Amino acid sequence: MHPVHPRLPALRLALASAALLAACAQPAPPPVGVVDISARPAERALLAGLKAYDDAQYESADRLFREALAAGLASPRDRAEAHKRLAFLHCAGGRLADCEAEFRLARQADRTFALDKSEAGHPVWGPVYKKLQP
């Protein structure tokens, strides 16, 4: 009979424990795709609003951004984007107080919200945005 190494039982126990823990681990959730996201009413409205905005259909974009917010966008970044686009629409329409309010709501929705350099340099909404900077 062969002698048992003194650490072999502890090693076997450690390996068995590791295997048991690995078997209990939850698999990572599958990635969320565009089809999944666009099935949600709020996100579908945001996507449609972005398209309307890009197509210069500003009345439709305004309605769709408001619809998306009312339907409960899940992502803080998405909520901030909807408020940002509404701010742009208000500023372009000369409604600067409403523009400022939407920028404030964008920041409340997502503390990391910031305009990119070209947006912040816009002659109409850039000054309104900069006024709100800490």
**Residue in the structure block whose two tokens are 């070209």:** 118
User: What is d(CA 24, CA 5) in angstroms, rounded to the nearest whole number?
Assistant: 30
**CATH number assigned to the domain with residue range 35-131, chosen from the 4 options 1.25.40, 2.40.128, 3.30.1360, 1.20.120:** 1.25.40
The DSSP code sequence of 48-110 is: HHHHHHHTT-HHHHHHHHHHHHHHT-S-HHHHHHHHHHHHHHHHHTT-HHHHHHHHHHHHHH-
pTM over 0.85: no
Enumerate the domain spans of the chain: 35-131
Q: Residue 5 pLDDT more than 60?
A: no
Q: Is the pLDDT of residue 114 over 80?
A: yes
Higher pLDDT, 3 or 42: 42
Are 101 and 85 contacting, i.e. CB atoms less than 8 angstroms apart?
Answer: no
pLDDT tens-digit readout, 53-94: 999 999 999 999 999 999 999 999 999 999 999 999 999 999
Q: Say whether pLDDT at 107 is over 70.
A: yes
pLDDT in tens, 7-62: 656 656 655 665 555 556 677 777 777 788 778 999 999 999 999 999 999 999 99
